Amino acid sequence: MNIISFFKLQKEKNKKIIIDNNLSDYKIWARKHLELHTKLSYLADETKCYKYWISEDEPMDKSILFERYLDCFSHIINLGLDRHYDHIEEILIKPNDYCLSDQFLNLFIDLNDLIISPSEDHYITLVEDFISLGITLGYSESKIKESFI
C-alpha cells in the first residue's frame, strides 16, 4: 500500500493544529504517544474484543468503529511525520490470522517498541500491523484511502 498520500494529507491537516508553545519537544512527543495508546484503547473497546465473559452487548457501531480507526491512523501518520519517516512509500500488507485481541496487543507492543527505541523499522511494523487490523475489521485499502481525507 502506498502511504505517501497519507503523509501529504496529514501535513495539510496539521496546519490547523495549534501546539502549546510552553511544552518542550519531549513533552509533545510523550503526549502524542500517550494519545495514541489512549485512542487504540478506545478502538479496542469499540470492538469488545477484550471481553472473555458472555454478555448480551449491543453490536458494535461500524461507523463509530471506522471513525476511531481513521483517528488512530491519523495519529500514526503524525508520528511518522514527527520522526521524518515521510519518505516511506510502500507498506507491505501481510495477511494474518490473529484474533482481534492479539492484534491489539501486538499494536501496543509495536508502539512501545517505537517509544523505547525509535527507528524506521519499528515505525513500519506499527503501520503494517495497523493496516492489517483494518483489513481484519473489514476495511479495504481503497476505503481507508478514500476516507482518510
Condensed to tens digits (0 to 9), the pLDDT of residues 43-93 reads: 999 999 988 887 777 777 889 999 999 999 999 999 999 999 999 999 988
- The answer to whether residue 37 is domain-embedded is yes
Report DSSP state, residue 97.
Answer: -
* Cell representation of residue 116: 523505547
- The answer to whether residue 79 is domain-embedded is yes
Structurally, the chain folds into a number of domains equal to: 1
- The answer to whether residue 101 is domain-embedded is yes
Q: Could you read off the pLDDT of 79-94 as tens digits, one per residue?
A: 999 999 999 999 988 7
What is the domain extent for residue 53?
4-14+24-148
- The answer to whether residue 120 is domain-embedded is yes
Angle at 19 between CA 17 and CA 20, to 5 degrees: 145
- The answer to whether residue 19 is domain-embedded is no
- The answer to whether residue 136 is domain-embedded is yes
Per-residue confidence (pLDDT) for residue 58, from 0 to 100: 73
- The answer to whether residue 128 is domain-embedded is yes
